[in-house]
Structures are given as structure tokens and as C-alpha cells.
Amino acid sequence: MATPASDIGLIGLAVMGQNLVLNMADHGYTVSVYNRTTATTDDFIARCKEEEPSAERVIGFAELKDFVQSIKRPRKIVFLVQSKAVLPTDRDAVDAVIAQLEPLLDKGDIIIDGGNSNWNATIRREKELAPKGFKFFGSGVSGGELGARFGPSLMPGGDKAAWKELKPIWEAIAAKVDPKTGKPFEDYKKGVPITKGVPCTTHIGSDGAGHYVKMVHNGIEYIDMQLICEAYQLMKTLLGMSAGEMSKVFAEWNSGELDSFLIEITTDILQQKDPADKKGKKWFVDGVLDTAGQKGTGKWTSANALDLGIPANAMAEAVFARCLSAIKDERVVASKKLKGPKDTKKITGKKKLIEAIRDALYCSKICAYAQGFQLMAEAQNEYNWKLDFGKIAGIFRGGCIIRARFLQKITDAYTKDPKLQNLMLDPYFKKAINKGQTNWRKVVSTAAEQGVPCPAFMSALSYYDGYRSAVLPANLLQSQRDYFGAHTYERVDKPRGKFFHVDWPDPKRPQLNM
């Protein structure tokens, strides 16, 4: 048997897998690769030889056994396989890959699931593998195809001691940010591997912590995208702006505090002409059907927020907005039957409204992150993790889909105060939201008056107003619960934890003179 020569192995050669391999090879690592369909491996190796300078460091295998034996011990094997398991008891393709690997591995070997697997399944898999002596990691990988190729944000969860083995590779291939400004280095645009700066990866916690944080990242991604879409719809509907015109607005926003990957790609998308239009007049986006797909991570985030009792309403709203978009046929019928506002005023003050929409977007975005971080704060208690929010915000600064300039401010906020109760209470964000709230309200009320849906702006504003309300109408709600179900209530004039009940209908209640 030949001496094992590879630093790491990767199973699953779809685009993300291929790009991660090339990223590792660019950074000097020798990578063994395996795919269930051998033809895919052969094609990839052939392409590498033709196009990639680091091709000599990529070695393909047709047999899983040979693949495993080619890797230096303790072996590090990453796989990218689509996972469907949601409940801890669900078994899927990921479990099948692990089962195939197990008899070929030695104690101390490290298996890394780099897909978007559900954290519940990751916790279960780690529990099953630990007694057998294998180290199982669930590592979130964010950044899409380009991120995988030139620097993703990586969120690994697993055994702390085994992380030391994985860390050098993960840090090498991750995106990097400037330590002074927090801005991602984007040398990859020139095709140069990024070697300087702070890597966008850190050990998130044990077992499912990495996949959990990746899931919340996606929950934030959902709302971030929805907020941008609402800004677009308001400008389109209320101001009659074309895609090209809006592109300029987004480009301007991207030069300020809203600077982010998602605003940047929106700018690009909106200036794209429709390739199907021979005359080159139509905008690309106008030819795209308005029904959104989803793979489930946003839903998982929202369902978990409900389970943990965390008011992440704006996040859930972003999922529901996709669901509503998906029932296109129903909406088309309803659009002919259900009425909107009677007197829609002509909107004047275009510049001012655009400015207000910008503020509404920024304030809502702060709420979205506040909800995401509150959710993670609760999850660490529920699942016995110790999460470092400063570090988590830090690795979101580069590589991932939600990367944005203001993540430096979130990093600062949690580094200064690791126990910060809510992002909105950090002095920087408090000031920003206080400054933007008048315009935010203006946008939401204008949208309601004009009949333009903006569920994420609206629900984020309700979250903000609810969070800053010392008194909410739950006094009446508790009374209702006590009335029909004897669920008891606490009193404003008695210590917390003392419960009271009235025999409804109270015979002594004063009668109303009606």
C-alpha cells in the first residue's frame, strides 16, 4: 500500500464540492476526491488538468477504500451531500455516507459534514460517532459557488480538540477580512488566493452548533433579501421607477452604511438587460416570474424561534412572504376580486421617499440581526453551547451571503458587551434606529395607505415598537385566558410568580349602564 499522501479528502463533487477542493489545492493542500458516480470524478480531474495550476494536488479515486487510505492520519474527510433529515430520528443520504465510511476509518479520524444539514441531526450523528472514536463536525459553509472557490465563511461545530487538526486548513481556505476595517479582501476577483487578513472561521461550539449558526445565518439571509425586495417594490410601485433607475439608487446605498453583498448583487441584477429581448430594451428582472423557492433553512430558523419562544417575527415574515409569492395563480385571481385602497394619493417628493425607504431598510435590518442574535442566545442555553457572538459576527464579515459593512459594528457591539441583551440596545444601533424610525414609520404608513405589501418592514417595526413598550395588552389576554380556561394571571401590584384567578363571570362585577 502506498504511503498516504493527501492532507484531506472530499466526497461529493457537485459545484460546491469541486470549488472547495480547488480552494484547498490553491492553498497548497493535497486533496483526495471521491464521487459516487466515477465519471464525475474523472471529468473533474480532466478539467483540473486542463485549467487549474494546482491540478497536481487533486487526486481522484474510483474506490472509497482507496480514497480513505490515501489520506494522512488522523484523516480529515469532508462531504457535501444534500441532507433531508429534520428530526433527530430522520436518517438520510448523510447517514448513508457515514455508514459507508465507518468501517474504513480509524479512531481519531475526523468527518466533516459541509452541507446545510439540520443541527438536530448533527447532534445525533456526533453522539453516535463519538463512542466509536470518530470526530464528527457539522460545518456551515456560506458564500455560494464563488465563496467555496475563493473564500467562504466557515462555521464548524464539533470536538474542540479535533478542531486543532482542522483549523489550519479551514483558516487557509476561509474568506479573510482586514483586521483594521473588517472589510473582506477581495483579491479573488483577480484570481489570486487570499492569504492575508483575519480568517472568517472559528470553532463555533460542540456538535450541532456550527450547523445551527449557519441556519440562523440563512434566516437572516432570508429577511435581508426580503427587505431589499420590499424596497424595490415600493420604488417600483409608488414611484414608477425602472430597474435601471433603481440600480443607481442601490449603488448609492452600497456606498454607505448599507454596503453589503446582497445590495451589491441587487445593483448588478437591476442593471441587467433581458437576454431574451433581441432589442435589448427590457430589463432582466421584469422577465422573471414572481414566485420564490426555498429549501428549508429559513423555515427551520422560524420554527425553532417558535419552539424557543423567541420573537423572530420578521424572519418568519420573510418565509411567509416567499410562501405567498408561490401561490401565484391564486394571487392573480384575487387581484381581480379584492379591492385595494380607494383614494391612492399621487406620491410627491421622490427623493425624500427614497431616503425614507433607505432608512426603513436599515432599521428593519437592525431588527433582523437583533432577532437572529437573540435566537442564538436562547439556543445556547437550550442545546448546551457557549457561543461567542463577537466571533460569530466577526466571521459573518466576509465570505458569506450576509456579509455587510455593518457586521463590523455588530462585532464591536458583542466584543464590548458579550452579554448584550438585544442589538438595538447597543449605543451605535440605538442611535441609528432612533434616527431612522420617523422615516421607517412614514414608509410603512405610506405602504399601508397605498396598498403595497411590505410585510418585513411592517413586522420589524411592530417588533421594534413591541420591544420598546413597557406595557403591552397581554393583561387583557391573560384575563381572557383566565375567563375561559382558569389559566390564572399575575397582578401588577403583587410580586411576580403569585397567581390569581377569578370565578368568571364575576358575580360582583359592577354592571355597565348601557
Under the rule (CB under 6 A), what is the footprint of ligand 6PG?
116, 142-144, 218, 221, 293-295, 297-298, 400-401
Q: Which of 148, 12, 37, 172 is CA-nearest to residue 93?
A: 12
Closest CB 143 distance from ligand 6PG, rounded Å: 5
Tell me whether residue 180 is one of the annotated catalytic residues. no
In sequence order, the β-bridge partners of residue 138 are: 113, 157
- Name the residue with cell 420589524: 460
**H or E element: which one contains 59?**
strand 58-61
Between CA 49 and CA 347 the distance in angstroms is: 59
Tell me the C-alpha distance between 194 and 217, whole Å. 23
Question: From the CB of 371, what's the least distance to ligand 6PG, in Å?
Answer: 17
C-alpha distances in Å from residue 69, one per residue of 8, 29, 113, 167: 11, 17, 19, 22
3-state secondary structure of 177: strand
Nearer Cβ to ligand 6PG, position 301 or 374?
301
Following DSSP, what letter does each residue of 286-303 receive, concatenated?
GGS-S-----SHHHHHHH
CB 312 to ligand 6PG: min, Å: 16
Distance of alpha carbon 80 from alpha carbon 23, whole angstroms? 15
Cα dihedral sign, 400-401-402-408: positive
| 409 annotated active-site | no
Round the CA-based radius of gyration of the chain to a whole number and report it: 26
Q: How far is the CB of 459 from ligand 6PG (least distance, A)?
A: 19
List the beta bridge partners of residue 273.
283
Residue 194 sits at φ, ψ, to 5 deg, of -85, 125
- Give CA–CA dist 56/309, Å, rounded: 52
Name the active-site residue from 76, 165, 176, 221. Answer: 221
Instruction: For the CB of residue 80, give the shortest distance to ligand 6PG in the complex, in Å.
Output: 11
Rank residues 295 and 468 by Cβ distance to ligand 6PG and give the closer one: 295
Task: For residue 167, count other CB atoms closer than 10 A to its CB.
Answer: 15
Shortest gap between Cβ of 148 and ligand 6PG (angstroms)? 8
Q: Which is nearer to ligand 6PG, 21 or 356 (CB)?
A: 21
Which one, of 225, 213, 170, lies nearest residue 387 by Cα? Answer: 213
Nearer to ligand 6PG, 85 or 447 (CB): 85
Strand pairing report for 198-199 and 110-113: unpaired
Smallest separation (angstroms) from ligand 6PG to the CB of 141: 7
Give helix 243-253 / helix 261-270 axis angle, nearest 10°. Answer: 160
202 neighbors 139 (Cβ within 8 angstroms)? no
Please tell me which residue in 214, 299, 365, 409 is annotated as part of the active site. 214
The closest of 391, 425, 141, 144 to 265, measured between CA atoms, is 144
Number of other residues whose CB lies within 10 A of the CB of residue 242: 13
Cell of 384: 448546551
Instruction: Give min distance, CB of 299 to ligand 6PG, in A.
Output: 8
- Which are the catalytic amino acids? 214, 221
